[in-house]
Amino acid sequence: MPADDRHGETHFVTRIGWLRAAVLGANDGLLSTSSLMVGVAAAAAGSSLIILTGVAGIVAGAMSMAAGEYVSVSSQADSEKADIERERLELVADPDHEARELAAIYIKRGLPKDLAIEVVTALSAHDALEAHTRDELGITDTSTANPLQAAIASAASFLAGGFPPLLTALLVPASGILWAIAAVAVLTLAVLGAAGSRVGGAPILPGILRVVLWGSIAMAVTAGVGHVFHATVG
C-alpha cells in the first residue's frame, strides 16, 4: 500500500470557509427565529401570529445572512487580490529585495541562512508569487472562502435552523407553544453545538455549553420583553 494511503491525514482547516458560514447560519436561524417566536408568544399572541412571525423571521434572516456573508467575503477577497497584485508588481520592480525579504521570514522561523536562501531560490524558480503570497502575506487556498459558496451556505443553514421552532409552532397547541419552542430550541442548539465542534475537530462539550447558554439567555430576554409588552398594553 502506498505511504500516502497508509498515512493519509484529514485537516479541519480546509473546512473553515464553509464551516464557519454554515454553523453561524444554522445557529443564527434557530436562535433568531426561536427568540422572535418566544417573544411574540410571551406577549400572549395567537398561534397564527406566532407562526407568521416565524415565517417572516426565517425569510428575512436568510436573505440578510446571504447578503451579509457575500459582501463580507467579497470584500475580503478583493483585499487579498489587491495585496497579491501589489506583491506581483514588487517582484517585477525589485526581485532581489523581495527574495531577501522572503529569506528573512524563513530565517526568523528557524532555518539557517544558507538553507533559507536555497529555499527561496527553489521556490522562486517554481512560482515566486505563490511563495510570497503564502509565506509573506499569509494567503492560501484554504484560508480564502468563496463568496457565493459562503452566501448559499449561510442562507441554507439559516433556513434549516429556523425550521424546528416553526414546525413546533405548527404542531403544538397554543397553550404550550412558548415552552415547546424554547425546549426544542435548546435541544437543537445542543445538537448544532455538538455537530459544529465535531466537524471542526474541537471538543464537543464546550461547544454545546456555549451555544445552549447564550441561546437560553437570548430567549429569556426576548420572552421578558414580550411579557412586559403584553402587560403594558393590557
C-alpha cell at 111: 532555518
Q: Which of 223, 222, 65, 216 is nearest to 150 (CA)?
A: 65
pLDDT tens, position by position, 90-123: 777 888 888 888 888 888 888 888 888 888 888 7
Burial of 72 (0-12, 13-18, 19+ CB in 10 A): middle
pLDDT of residue 52: 93
What is the CB-side half-sphere exposure of residue 196 using CA atoms within 13 A? Answer: 25
What pLDDT, on a 0 to 100 scale, did the predictor assign at position 234? 44
pLDDT higher at 17 or 171: 171
pLDDT recorded at residue 114:
84
pLDDT, mean of residues 24-46: 87
pTM for this predicted structure = 0.68
Q: What is the pLDDT of residues 148-195, one digit of tens each?
A: 887 888 889 899 999 999 999 999 988 889 899 999 999 998 988 887
A 10 A CB-CB count for 180 gives: 17
What's at 23, amino acid-wise?
V
> CA of 102: how far to CAs of 79, 131, 134, 159, in Å?
21, 8, 10, 46
Q: What is the pLDDT of residue 187?
A: 93
Confidence of residue 233 (pLDDT cuts 50, 70, 90): very low
**Quick check: helix, strand or coil at residue 160?**
helix
* CB 57, CB 34: distance < 8 Å: no
Give the angle 47-53-55 at the CA atoms, nearest 5°.
Answer: 105
Q: Residue 50: name the closest of 158, 179, 160, 154 by CA.
A: 179
What is the rounded average pLDDT of the residues 71-90? 83
Residue 172 DSSP label: S
Q: Mean pLDDT over all residues of the chain?
A: 81
Q: Are 147 and 77 in contact (CB under 8 A)?
A: yes
Q: Which residue has the higher pLDDT, 145 or 202?
A: 202
- Give 227-231's long-range contacts (Cβ < 8 A, gap of 24+): 227/42, 227/43, 229/43, 230/42, 230/43, 230/44
The answer on pLDDT for 58 being more than 90 is yes
